[in-house]
């Protein structure tokens, strides 16, 4: 069985507990002021895609395993040949094919397209006390990073000021507040 170190020199992060393969701390709590990768990403957003001291160090060899399939199998750094979908003005040369020129943007949805800057999404945050108490933090962080945040299905159902007529939502102040908080920073 492989073990992962608590600290990541390339990113400058440390986990309190023993991290799992994804790098997430096993002791993740909403009130933690930690120094893990998730905590740092909430502050630095997309900048965390690149190791600190990017272009000055050659790091990343510590997270390799040779047992089965692992996150190592999908590492960004590796043997890549060619580039497709380059913006106008960039060539297929190694001078142009660098991290700052990479776009991870995309969209999902059939009728209503939802755009994102990084292909990650939160779990649904609905009627729980955690979601209500920390919604602003979650929504603002997600908006600044450029990822969608999922509003749970029961937010309107528990909103005492919501008005539902004939099975349709006429007024939902809590849902409106959550959407506007996100959109203010997206």
Q: What is the domain range of residue 48? A: 1-103
Same domain for 26 and 53?
A: yes
Looking at residues 137-152, what average pLDDT do you find?
91
Q: What is the tally of structural domains in the chain?
A: 2
pLDDT value for 182: 94
**Do 133 and 73 share a structural domain?**
no
Residue 58 pLDDT: 47
Which residues are CB-contacts of 159 (< 8 A; sequence separation ≥ 6)? Answer: 172, 173, 174, 175
**Boundary (domain end) residue, out of 55, 76, 103:** 103
> What does pLDDT average to over the chain?
78
Out of 30-39, 48-57, 79-88, 171-180, the most confident range is 171-180
Residues 3 and 74 in one domain: yes
Tell me: do 120 and 156 sit in the same domain: yes
Same domain, 109 and 86: no
Tell me: do 63 and 145 sit in the same domain: no
Q: Tokens for 95?
A: 């001078």
Q: Tens digit of pLDDT for each residue in 50-95?
A: 666 655 554 455 555 556 666 556 555 545 556 777 888 888 887 8
- Among the candidates 86, 103, 120, a domain finishes at 103
Q: Of 103, 132, 152, which closes a domain?
A: 103
What is the band of 174 on the pLDDT scale with cuts at 50, 70, 90? very high
Report whether 63 contacts 72 (CB < 8 A).
Answer: yes
Q: 66 with 111, same domain?
A: no
Is residue 143 predicted with pLDDT exceeding 70? yes
What CA–CA distance (Å, rounded) separates 160 from 105?
37
- The mean pLDDT value for 152-178 works out to 92
Q: Which residues pair with 14 in a beta bridge?
A: 7, 35
pLDDT 10s digits, 90-114: 888 878 877 788 788 889 899 999 8
pLDDT of residue 185: 93
How many Å apart are CA 46 and CA 40, to the nearest integer? 10
């Amino acid at each position: 069985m492989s073990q992962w170190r608590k600290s990541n020199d390339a990113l400058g992060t440390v986990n309190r507990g023993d991290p799992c393969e994804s790098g997430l701390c096993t002791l993740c709590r909403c009130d933690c002021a930690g120094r893990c990768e998730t905590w740092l990403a909430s502050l630095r957003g997309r900048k965390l895609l690149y190791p600190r001291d990017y272009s000055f160090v050659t790091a990343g060899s510590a997270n390799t395993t040779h047992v089965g399939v692992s996150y190592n199998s999908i590492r960004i750094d590796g043997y890549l040949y060619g580039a497709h979908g380059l913006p106008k003005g960039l060539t297929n040369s190694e001078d142009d094919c660098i991290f700052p020129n990479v776009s991870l943007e995309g969209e999902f949805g059939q009728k209503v397209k939802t755009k994102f800057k990084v292909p990650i999404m939160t779990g649904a945050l609905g009627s729980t006390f955690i979601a209500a108490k920390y919604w602003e933090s979650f929504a603002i962080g997600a908006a600044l990073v450029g990822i969608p945040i999922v509003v749970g299905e029961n937010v309107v159902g528990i909103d005492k000021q919501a008005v539902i007529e004939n099975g349709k939502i006429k007024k939902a102040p809590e849902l409106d507040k959550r959407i506007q908080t996100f959109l203010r920073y997206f």
